[in-house]
């Protein structure tokens, strides 16, 4: 049975521009994507009994995303995660970015890609329904060099996999790090349950410790013997309050980059697996990127009221963001986030869903 893709109006921005929503349905899953922020607004996934629930945080209307965005489901760029002091050097020239996270730059700036209206480029029905959105970021926007032409394609296959593929090209050397910032709760965003009982696996032997402002120190440290060892599946809540670990205190829990590979790979590899024992839902996240930022919703403060009318609190959801490492432009040992004219940046993320037996 073929999947379905359909679009509908979702609202208007204060300046009158229209925001559209595209609904993709296939394999028992339903995803809804907005042109605002190229964001994933809902993702309905069946549990072990076949009962669907929306497993991502978000709002019922556009007003919520404009008032208190919280990065719910958005596409972040030009540079996801943090850049120390909002500064980097490229080809001998210094660039200054907005400091929108204490002393640092976060997720592309005050008006990053998450706060832009993307263009609806293509909506496709068929065996794998999809939607492609594009955004052209002009030279100098938020302080970044080069005109960046970015696209994201959301696709839903019959096997229960949602793929999110980012691509970008530039007309002059720049840096780029695009990812999706969906907040997941496999029990359902309206369940009232936290993610502390979710069982997490991250196949990483190392991670990047952070300083007091959550910028990597430059070290690449082993996870062995620390609360950051998720090589064997363990409930998220088992060590999230280990006050003996300075890194847990700095992140108020988990808000750290895990080193899965040393550099981007050609094909996607597993970066995380999450299971909710109560519902049976399982999510496997794969990407071609070397790192995955695991964030346990530590800063959710009950001020955002979601689609089900519940206020979202600390540990109500988790984010798993495949990307290059935070602050890579200032950390030569981390590799590179550089993109040159003639090259194409690509981040392929897949979320594969299944449900355990009763």
CB 315 within 8 Å of CB 296: yes
- Does residue 321 have an active-site annotation? yes
Determine which one of 107, 181, 198, 256 is catalytic: 181
HEC letters along the chain: CCEEEEEEEEEECCCCCEEEEEEEEECCEEEEEECECCEEEEEEEECCCCCEEECECCCCCHHHHHHCCCCCCEEECCECCEEHHHEEEECCEEEECCCCECCEEECCCCCCHHHCECEEEEEECECCCEEEEEEEECCCHHHCCCCEEEEEEEEECCCCEEEEEEEEEECCCEECECEEECCECCCCCCCCCCCCCCEEECCCCEEECECCCCCECCCCEECCCCCCCCCCCEEHHHCCCCCCCHHHHHHCCCEEEEECCCCCCCCCEEEEEEECCCCCEEEEEEECCCEEEEECCCCCEEEEECCCCCEEECCCCEEEEEECCCCHHHCHHHCCCEECCCCCEEEEEEEEEEECCC
CB 318 within 8 Å of CB 183: yes
Peptide bond into 78 cis (omega under 30): yes
Q: Report the alpha-carbon distance of residue 131 to residue 328 in Å, rounded.
A: 30
Catalytic positions:
181, 321
């Amino acid at each position: 049975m073929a999947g379905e893709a359909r679009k509908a109006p979702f609202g208007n921005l204060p300046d009158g521009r229209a925001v559209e929503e595209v609904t993709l349905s296939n394999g028992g899953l339903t995803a809804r994507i907005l042109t605002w922020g190229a964001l994933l607004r809902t993702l309905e996934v069946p549990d072990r009994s076949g009962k669907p629930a929306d497993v991502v945080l978000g709002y019922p209307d556009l007003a919520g995303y404009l008032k208190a965005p919280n990065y719910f489901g958005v596409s972040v760029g030009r540079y996801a995660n943090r850049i120390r002091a909002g500064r980097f050097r490229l080809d001998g020239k210094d660039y200054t970015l907005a400091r929108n996270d204490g002393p640092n730059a976060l997720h592309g700036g005050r008006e990053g890609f998450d706060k832009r209206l993307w263009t609806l480029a293509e909506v496709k029905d068929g065996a794998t329904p999809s939607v492609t959105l594009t955004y052209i970021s002009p030279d100098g926007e938020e302080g970044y060099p080069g005109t960046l032409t970015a696209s994201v394609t959301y696709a839903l296959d019959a096997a229960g996999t949602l793929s999110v593929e980012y691509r970008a090209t530039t007309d002059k050397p720049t840096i780029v790090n695009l990812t999706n910032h969906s907040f997941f709760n496999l029990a359902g965003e309206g369940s009232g349950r936290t993610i502390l009982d979710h069982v997490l696996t991250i196949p990483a032997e190392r991670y990047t410790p952070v300083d007091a402002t959550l910028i990597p120190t430059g070290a690449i440290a082993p996870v062995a013997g620390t609360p950051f060892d998720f090589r064997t599946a363990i409930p998220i809540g088992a060590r999230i309050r280990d006050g003996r670990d300075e890194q847990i205190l700095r992140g108020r829990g988990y808000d750290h980059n895990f080193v899965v590979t040393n550099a981007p790979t050609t094909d996607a590899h597993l970066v995380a697996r999450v299971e909710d024992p109560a519902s049976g839902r399982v999510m496997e996240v794969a990407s071609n990127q070397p790192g995955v930022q695991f964030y346990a919703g530590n800063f959710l403060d009950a001020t955002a009221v979601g689609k089900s009318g519940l206020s979202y609190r600390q540990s109500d959801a988790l984010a798993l963001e495949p990307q290059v490492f935070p602050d890579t432009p200032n950390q030569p040992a981390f590799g590179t986030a550089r993109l040159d004219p003639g090259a194409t940046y690509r981040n392929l993320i897949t979320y594969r869903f299944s449900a355990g037996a009763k």
